[in-house]
Structure 1
Amino acid sequence: MGIMKEFKTFAMRGNVVDLAVGVIIGGAFGKIVTSLVNDIIMPPIGKLLGDVSFEELTIPLVDMSKLTEEEQAVAPVIRYGQFINVVLDFLIVAFCIFLLVKVINRLKHKEEKKEEAPKAPTEKECPYCLSQIPIHATRCKNCTSHLVKVEHS
C-alpha cells in the first residue's frame, strides 16, 4: 500500500492538479483555435486566392491521372494546405499563451511591489561621533559615549 499512498500524495499536490486543469482547458482552447483557423480565417483567404480550400492543397507523389478515384483517395500526397492550417493554429495558440504569460507576469510584478514594504531601520547615527551603530545600542562602539535609550516598538 506504500506506493498508493505515495501516488496519492503526488497526485494531490497543487501543481499537479493545476497542470491537469491546464491540459484540459488547453485542449478545449486548441479546438476553439482550430475552428477559428479552419472555419473563419482560412475561407476568406481561400476566396481571395481564387476559391481555394487549403485542406485540399496537395502535391501528389504519383501520377494521379493514371489512378481511379478510389486509388486517388489513398494515393500518397504531401498535404501542404493542411500543414499551413496547423502552423496557423500553432501561431495563434503561441501568441495567446504569450499574452497570457505577459498578463500573469505583470500581475506578479504588481504583487511583488506591494509586498516590498519599507524595512524598519536597523542602524542609527551616534549623536556624538556621527558613526552608524545598531539601533538598540546604548553605547557607541566607536566613541564609547553613553546614548539615551529610546524605546522601540
Structure 2
Amino acid sequence: MWKEFKEFAMKGNVIDLAVAVVIGAAFGKIVSSLVDNIIMPLVGVLTGGIDFTKSFIWRVGDATVSFGVFLQSVIDFLIISFAIFLFIRMLNKLTKKKKEEVVEEAAPELDTKEELLREIRDLLRAQNTNK
C-alpha cells in the first residue's frame, strides 16, 4: 500500500497540484494586499472617505455583523478570479499557437491504383522527353 501511495504522490498531476496550491496561496496574499492597501483606500476616497471595514458594521447584543469586511472579500475574489481568467486565457493562446505550428499539412495517402497511374504517367513523360 505504501508503494502505491508513493507512486500516486510522485505522479506529475499531484506535484503540479501542490505547486499550484502554494503559488495560489501566495498570489492570494498579494491580491489581498492590493485590495486592502491600494484599491479600497482609493474607493474610500471616491466615496467620501468611507472605510468599508469599519463603516458597515451592525451590532446586535454581543454579535457583530461586518458587511464591509464581506464586501472587501468579494472584491478580493473578483480581482483574483479576473487575474486567473487573464492568465488562463494567455496560456490557452500560447498553447494554441504552438499546436498550430506543430500541425503541418500531411501529404495525402494514395491507394495502389493512384500510385500505379502516377508511375505510368512518369514513365510516359520520360519516354516522350527521350525522343
Classify the TM-score, shorter chain: 0.7 to 0.9
Normalising by structure 2, we get a TM-score of: 0.81
1:83 aligns with 2:77: no
CA contact (8 A) 1:61 1:77 kept: yes
Question: Could you list the runs of 5+ residues in structure 1 that have no partner in the other structure?
Answer: 63-74, 124-132, 141-145
Q: Are 1:60 and 1:78, in contact at CA under 8 Å, matched by a contact in 2?
A: yes
Structure showing greater Rg: 1
The aligned residue for residue 148 of structure 1 is 120
Kept in 2, the 8 Å contact 1:54–1:82? The answer is: yes
CA RMSD, Structure 1 to Structure 2 (Å): 2.2
1:100 equivalent to 2:87? Answer yes
- Taking the aligned partners of 1:135 and 1:117, their CA distance within structure 2 comes to 26
| TM-score with structure 1 setting the length | 0.71
Distance 1:135 1:8 in 2: 56
Q: Distance in 2 between matches of 1:135 and 1:86?
A: 70
Looking at structure 1, the residues matched to 113 and 42 of structure 2 have their Cα atoms a distance apart, in angstroms, of 73
Q: Equivalents in 1 of 2:53, 2:121: separation in Å?
A: 83
Q: Is the 8 A contact 1:121 1:135 kept in 2?
A: no
CA distance in 2, matches of 1:22, 1:15: 10
Gaps of 5+ in 2: 123-131
Partner of 2:57: 58
Taking the aligned partners of 1:45 and 1:147, their CA distance within structure 2 comes to: 78
Partner of 1:24: 22
User: Could you tell me whether the CA contact under 8 Å between 1:122 and 1:134 is conserved in 2?
Assistant: no
